[in-house]
Chains A and B, each alone.
Chain A
Amino acid sequence: GNSVTQMEGPVTLSEEAFLTINCTYTATGYPSLFWYVQYPGEGLQLLLKATKADDKGSNKGFEATYRKETTSFHLEKGSVQVSDSAVYFCALSAGNNDMRFGAGTRLTVKP
C-alpha cells in the first residue's frame, strides 16, 4: 500500500543553519506529495506541495522537489530561524481521498 517514511527526529539546529528533512514514499500510480507543519498547540498547516515529477514546491524559504526516480521529496531550507521550530510531516495522496502521513520530524532551532 501507499506509505511515507521520513527522517526520525528530533533535529536540533542553530539559527541560520541549513535544514534537510528526508522523506521517501511508496505508492502506486502518480501521487501528489505534501509537507505539513504543526506548531505547538495548533493544527497542521500545508507548507508546500508538488503534484507531478520534477515539480518543486516552495513556501516561506522551504523547498522540496518531487523526485520520481528516487521516490523522494526531501524538505530543505537554507537558513532556519527560531520561529521554524515545529513538527514537520511529509504526506502523499494517490488520487483518492486517503492522505498518508509520515510519523513527523520535530525540529528545534536554537538562537
Chain B
Amino acid sequence: ETGVTQSPTHLIKTRGQQVTLRCSSQSGHNTVSWYQQALGQGPQFIFQYYREEENGRGNFPPRFSGLQFPNYSSELNVNALELDDSALYLCASSLNLAVSEETQYFGPGTRLLVL
C-alpha cells in the first residue's frame, strides 16, 4: 500500500510569485486535507476536498486554492506569495469525510520558503 506522497520536497520562491504543490493520496482514499505548518507551530487547516469538491475551508484568503483530480490526487495553489507563506505544507488523506472518525494519513510535506 503506497502512502501519501508530496512534491516537491523543498521550494524557494520570491514574493508575488505563484506556486503549485502536489499530493498523491493513499490508495483508495477519496478525501484530502491541506495544512500549513509554520515553524514551531502546529498545523493549521487550509481546506479539504472530497470527490473533487471543496468541502470546507479554514481561515485562509482566496489566493489559497486547490484542486482534486478523479484519481484523488490533489494540488494546492498559492497566488501572490507573501513572506508569511513560508511554511511546511502538509496534505493528509483519509478514506472518508469524517475527520473525527477516520484516521488521516499525512505526507512528509513540502517546505516552502518565500524570499
Residue of B nearest to A44 (CB): B106
Q: Is there a chain A Cβ closer than 8 Å to B66's Cβ?
A: no
Give the total of A residues in contact with B, Cβ under 8 Å.
26
- The answer on a CB contact under 8 Å between A102 and B42 is yes
**B1: chain A residues within 8 A (beta carbon):** none
Q: Which of A31, A41, A44, A95 contacts B43 (CB 8 A)?
A: A44
- The answer on a CB contact under 8 Å between A98 and B43 is no
Residue of B nearest to A99 (CB): B99
Give the total of B residues in contact with A, Cβ under 8 Å.
27
Q: Which of A4, A42, A104 contacts B108 (CB 8 A)?
A: A42
Q: Is the interface of B mostly helix, strand, loop or mixed?
A: loop
Question: Which residues in window 46-74 of A have CB below 8 A to B?
Answer: 46, 49, 51
Residue of A nearest to B47 (CB): A97
Give the complex CA separation of A93 and B108 in angstroms: 21
**B98: chain A residues within 8 A (beta carbon):** 95
Instruction: List chain B positions with a Cβ less than 8 A from chain A.
Output: 4, 33, 35, 40-45, 48, 55-56, 58, 90, 92, 97-101, 103-109
Instruction: List chain A positions with a Cβ less than 8 A from chain B.
Output: 4, 31-32, 36, 41-46, 49, 51, 89, 91, 93-104
7 closest residue pairs by CB, A with B: A101-B42, A43-B106, A32-B100, A93-B100, A97-B56, A44-B106, A97-B48
